[in-house]
Structure 1
Amino acid sequence: MAYSIEQRANANSLEYRLFFKDCKGKYISPFHDIPLYADEAKTWENPSHIDENTGFGGDNDPIDVCDIGSKVCERGEVIRVKVLGTLALIDEGETDWKIIVINVEDPDAAHFNDIEDVRRLKPNYLESTVDWFRTYKVPDGKPENQFAFDGEFKNKDFAIDVIKCTHAHWKALVTKNSNGGEINCKNTTVQDSPFVCKQEEAETIVNTAPPRGPASPIPADVDKWYYYQKN
């Protein structure tokens, strides 16, 4: 399945939006209509489900994926990946799984099949990843994030189990068998979902965003540097 994007408003502005289309040019939801596997759809970290591994509920958004490869993707690009492992971040009292993957089209993809391959072929990469996730909110005045398993990365099989679990929560969400709160479950393709909308309604949503214009100047504070000193 090939996907394309439609850009709206001015890049670098708060109004800027990306809208996704399928191979037929019809609008879709990137959350609900792009499949996890060839015949299935996405995942969701349910805040009301207390994870047996972390003791915390999910963070109420799609599961996060961290691509360790060197191939740079375009904004809105949909790629196939190999699952390698996972890290369980505890972000302000919520479970926020980070699935470690590599793009199957990355030049080095054949060398990576599990989390230990990352440790072996990219020395200190995993340790640096934990350090970044621990401190990245500190410049906003927030405390350091914590981790389940003392910051230990779990292997591929563990990560796949997490994906399957969150995928089951997503299925319940989009078929209205679970309360998603403020999450918008509108989609165009999911069978048995009461939230399916017609293409005309999807087009109306897209047309509420301004037409694409020239990129806005990048704010100077984007390039502001912060230095973190451990006590």
Structure 2
Amino acid sequence: MNGPWRLSSGLGRAILTCGSRCAHSLRLFPRTMHFSTEERGQAGSTDYRLYFKGADGKYISPFHDIPLYAETKTEDEIPAKKSRTNGKEEVFNMVVEVPRWTNAKMEIATKESLNPIKQDTKKGKLRYVANIFPHKGYIWNYGAFPQTWEDPHHMDEGTGCYGDNDPIDVCEIGSKVSSRGEVIQVKVLGVLALIDEGETDWKVIAINVEDPEAEKFSDIDDVRKYKPGYLEATVNWLRLYKVPNGNPENQFGFNGEFKDKKFAQAIISTTHQYWKNLIQKKIDGGSINCMTTALHESPFWCREEVARDIVESEPPLTTPGPVPAEVDVWHYVNK
């Protein structure tokens, strides 16, 4: 393309607009959006941060600036209401926070500017999930759907609990071990309602559309068919993972029943709407940081140089710190 092009964004979609020499604008919807990451600080310490960049190299928020839907099907919706399809499947972007078989409890820092990924802490100590025999760390690629928010002001009728104030969580069950900060495209298969400390904490079951067996999976029953025992292991893991630290077992809504794809997509749509209300300042987000560099219509939009200054104020990447020996201990918990 010729001419001075600049990238701006509507809520949930990218808009490529030409400069002053052009009398018109074009809206382009790439099949796959590309993102990169930049590490700061020391991995294995409280100052570690993983920041995100868009395809143009500008810093973005993985919470607010990466679209929920992998691609829109129409040019007239802001935010986009429809997704790219893979055959008959809707396809969503997933931000991978924790690669399978790892233990560090990494998460999008919802209360920090630009929402980098960092390691969670409790009482000033870095958090690692325990190994529940026979598993090592997380048993899926674990992450979140961008542009979703479990509203803590809203009580879910099905669970009787309020939202947990985070983006909705995703358990990706494909064969590949993803990388921290990777943005992958997934199709949704079902959802489980975890009740974590009295809050609704949805766990969406999904599979990477690039997985060699992805075409076999259309709904939650296909997981039972082609990955026998995986759903049962998921429930047991989520129920017990805090027990080695002296906490009680987690509970579930719907008696621990996995809901199907249609139910899951309705939950995702609802939490996407809650996020829209948040980013458009229609609801008080409290301590949630809504800084965005791509969503120009949002009252939380900031200039590129502001975002750059935030990242550059963080310490440079250094050699990773030591991992505590207890991270590799196996725990045997009665089920």
Give the TM-score, by structure 1 length.
0.96
Question: What SS is found at the alignment partner of 1:143?
Answer: coil
**Does 2:166 match 1:61?**
yes
Structure 2 CA distance, aligned partners of 1:145 and 1:216?
31
Structure 1 CA distance, aligned partners of 2:150 and 2:290?
14
Report 1 or 2 for greater relative contact order, CA contacts < 8 Å, sequence distance ≥ 6.
Answer: 1
Q: Which amino acid aligns with 2:65?
A: D
Q: Where does residue 39 of structure 2 map in the other structure?
A: 7
**Does 2:48 match 1:16?**
yes
Question: What SS is found at the alignment partner of 1:52?
Answer: coil
Q: CA deviation at 1:217?
A: 2.1
Q: Which amino acid aligns with 1:4?
A: S
Question: What SS is found at the alignment partner of 1:79?
Answer: strand
**Does 2:254 match 1:222?**
no
Question: What SS is found at the alignment partner of 1:182?
Answer: coil
Matched-pair contact (CA < 8 Å) for 1:43–1:62: yes
Match of residue 186, structure 2, among 43, 59, 81: 81
Which structure shows the higher helix fraction? Answer: 1
Structure 1 CA distance, aligned partners of 2:325 and 2:232?
31
Q: CA deviation at 1:86?
A: 0.3
Match of residue 267, structure 2, among 133, 137, 162: 162
Match of residue 204, structure 1, among 297, 304, 309: 309
Question: What SS is found at the alignment partner of 2:162?
Answer: coil
RMSD: 1.2
Q: What does 1:132-147 correspond to in 2, within 5 Å?
A: 132-147=237-252
Write out the 4+ residue segments of structure 1 that deviate beyond 6 Å after TM superposition.
none
Unaligned segments of structure 2, at least 5 residues: 1-32, 73-79, 81-145
**Greater Cα shift, 165-174 or 202-211:** 202-211
Q: CA deviation at 1:93?
A: 0.4
Identity of aligned residues (%): 61
Structure 2 CA distance, aligned partners of 1:140 and 1:189?
40
Q: Where does residue 68 of structure 2 map in the other structure?
A: 36
Q: What does 1:42-121 correspond to in 2, within 5 Å?
A: 42-121=147-226
Q: Deviations over 1:51-96 (max 9, x none)?
A: 1111111000000000011111111000100100000111110000
Structure 2 CA distance, aligned partners of 1:43 and 1:216?
33
Matched-pair contact (CA < 8 Å) for 1:71–1:107: no
Question: What SS is found at the alignment partner of 1:201?
Answer: helix
Give the TM-score, by structure 2 length.
0.67
Q: Which amino acid aligns with 1:221?
A: E
Structure 2 CA distance, aligned partners of 1:162 and 1:152?
15
Q: CA deviation at 1:42?
A: 1.0
Structure 1 CA distance, aligned partners of 2:331 and 2:39?
31
Q: CA deviation at 1:185?
A: 0.7
Unaligned segments of structure 1, at least 5 residues: none
Q: CA deviation at 1:191?
A: 4.1
**Greater Cα shift, 207-216 or 178-187:** 207-216
